[in-house]
């Protein structure tokens, strides 16, 4: 028998509370401290915890998209294909910075199917269009 488990992606940054609020607003979730010391904040949506943000006073953001640097890890936020432009506007209004990328061949009806960004602390994420409703967690394929 396998022990029940769950997982969450944790992003390191110098100031976790503002970054947790950024993702909570972007994802329509809530953010709050996981511990009393403010070192870890959890972003929680209707399906449970979706992201953690941890204080690291020595954090240096990745220099992606420079070709010689690794992206390390990134968050992929799924939206309906017809909502891609609106999701991009929401992200930018909240403080995301668009990242230009070379053509990668991902097209949907002659439109790019994903948009690349860095969050206010410099972590990379993409907003990706999917052909089906992205809200159910069961049955979707990346």
Picking from 14-18, 20-24, 110-114, which range would have the lowest pLDDT averaged per residue? 110-114
Q: Which residues contact 83 (CB under 8 A, 6 or more apart)?
A: 129
Domain with CATH 3.30.720.120 in the chain: 6-58, 61-142
pLDDT at 107 over 70: no
pLDDT at 135 over 60: no
110 Rama sector, left if φ>0, alpha if ψ -120 to 50, beta otherwise = left
Whether the CB-CB separation of 117 and 97 falls below 8 Å is answered with: yes
Residue 101: which pLDDT band, with cuts at 50, 70 and 90? low
- Helices 84-94 & 16-27 angle (0-180, nearest 10): 160
Closest by Cα among 85, 87, 95 to 122: 95
Q: Please report the DSSP string for 77-136 in residue order.
A: EEEEGGGHHHHHHHHHHHT-EE------S-EETTEESEEEEE-TTS-EEEEEEESS-S--
The arithmetic mean of pLDDT across residues 28-38, rounded, is 86
The arithmetic mean of pLDDT across residues 86-103, rounded, is 85
pLDDT at 19 over 90: yes
Question: Could you give the 3-state DSSP secondary structure of residue 34?
Answer: coil
Picking from 22-31, 72-81, 116-125, 132-141, which range would have the lowest pLDDT averaged per residue? 132-141
pLDDT at 104 over 60: no
CATH 3.30.720.120 fits 61-142, yes or no: yes
pLDDT at 58 over 80: yes
Q: Please report the DSSP string for 57-86 in residue order.
A: TT-----TTSTTS-----EEEEEEGGGHHH
Higher pLDDT, 52 or 129: 52
pLDDT at 141 over 60: no
- Domain range 6-58, CATH architecture: 2-Layer Sandwich (3.30)
């Amino acid at each position: 028998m396998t022990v029940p488990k769950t997982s969450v992606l944790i992003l390191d940054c110098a100031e976790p509370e503002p970054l947790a609020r950024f993702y909570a607003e972007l994802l329509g979730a809530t953010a709050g401290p996981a511990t009393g010391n403010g070192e870890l904040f959890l972003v929680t949506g209707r399906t449970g915890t979706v992201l953690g943000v941890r204080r690291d006073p020595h954090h240096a953001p990745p220099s992606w998209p420079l070709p010689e640097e690794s992206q390390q890890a990134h968050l992929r936020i799924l939206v309906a294909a017809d909502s891609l432009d609106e999701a991009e506007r929401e992200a930018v209004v909240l403080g995301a910075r668009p990242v230009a990328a070379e053509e990668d061949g991902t097209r949907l009806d002659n439109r790019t199917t994903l948009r690349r960004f860095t969050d206010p602390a410099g972590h990379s994420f993409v907003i990706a269009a999917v052909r089906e409703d992205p809200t159910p967690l069961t049955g979707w394929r990346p």
